[in-house]
Amino acid sequence: MSALLSVEEIHAAYGLSRVLFGISLEIEEGECVCLLGRNGVGKTTTLRAIMGFNPPGKGRILWRQRDITGWSPHRIARAGIGFVPEDRRIFAELTVEENLEVGARAAKRPGRWTIETVSELFPILRERRNQRGGYLSGGEQQMLTIARTLVGNPDLLLLDEPSEGLAPLVVHALSQKIAELKAQGLTILLTEQASEVALSLADRVYVLEKGAVRFSGPASALRDDKALHDRLLAI
């Protein structure tokens, strides 16, 4: 079986400052994979490279065996990759419903996810549909951002640190939603700094350090081996 997404030895930089040094990773259809690593190791840059916001200076990115390196973010989204950035860019002045309508209008891919079906997955969004985005809690904003991306019906969902800045109970609720998406067959690549969410959701993990893959393997390898886990991730 060949991978849905293959990232092959990508290098990336911001100006003269080099940030990624030959990152490779693969995701099969239906998998949930997590990029783990401390602040500043290159997780966001890797997702932005996949999405076409920071095209890699070296290396290539294959989507369904097709080389998409250098494609525009718009074209990559149209090809089926959806991106939920870490800064949750909702429209604060628009209502929840209007935010979802913007997502639905931008989406050119029909499919199972509509404003109706995402509101079934996230009932809180239906309850809050007339509230402005800016008045939502952090967890609700994160759910709205995910919902807005889902209405584009991506085949792969990139989630950048979905639990960042959320209270433990909210993180738990959000993890359950992501688990539901996974159970429904959506392929997911997420990033996290701490392993809690990652190890509860991911089938496989890649641990990054200084712009390179330091470890890759099944999530169970880190769950079962505390010494390995702490060596890779303890602050």
Site residues, Mg ion (CB under 5 A): 43-44
User: CA 231, 179, 227: angle at the middle one, nearest 5?
Assistant: 15
- When asked if residue 39 is in the footprint of ligand ADP (CB under 6 A), the reply is yes
CB of 102 to ligand ADP, least distance (A): 25
Binding piece for ligand ADP, criterion CB under 6 A, among 3-11, 40-48, 64-72, 216-224: 40-48
82 binds, among Mg ion, ligand ADP, none (CB under 5 to 8 A by kind): none
Angle between helices 138-150 and 168-183 (to 10 degrees): 20
Near ligand ADP by CB under 6 A, which window of 37-45, 72-80, 95-103, 136-144? 37-45
| Residues shown for the chain | 235
Out of 5, 10, 34, 45, point to the residue binding ligand ADP (CB under 6 A). 45
Q: Is 128 exposed, middle or buried (0-12, 13-18, 19+ CB in 10 A)?
A: buried
Distance from C-alpha of 60 to C-alpha of 69, rounded to nearest angstrom: 6
Q: Which CB sits closer to Mg ion, 31 or 160?
A: 160
Q: Give the strands of the sheet with 58-63, arranged side by side.
A: 17-27, 5-14, 58-63, 66-67
Shortest distance, CB of residue 77 to ligand ADP, whole angstroms? 20
- Closer CB to ligand ADP, 43 or 182, in the complex: 43
- Confirm or reject binding of residue 57 to ligand ADP (CB under 6 A): no
The site partner of 42 among Mg ion, ligand ADP, none (C-beta below 5 to 8 Å per kind) is ligand ADP
Q: Is 19 in the site for ligand ADP (CB under 6 A)?
A: yes
What dihedral angle (degrees, nearest 10) is formed by the CA atoms of 194, 195, 197, 200? Answer: -170
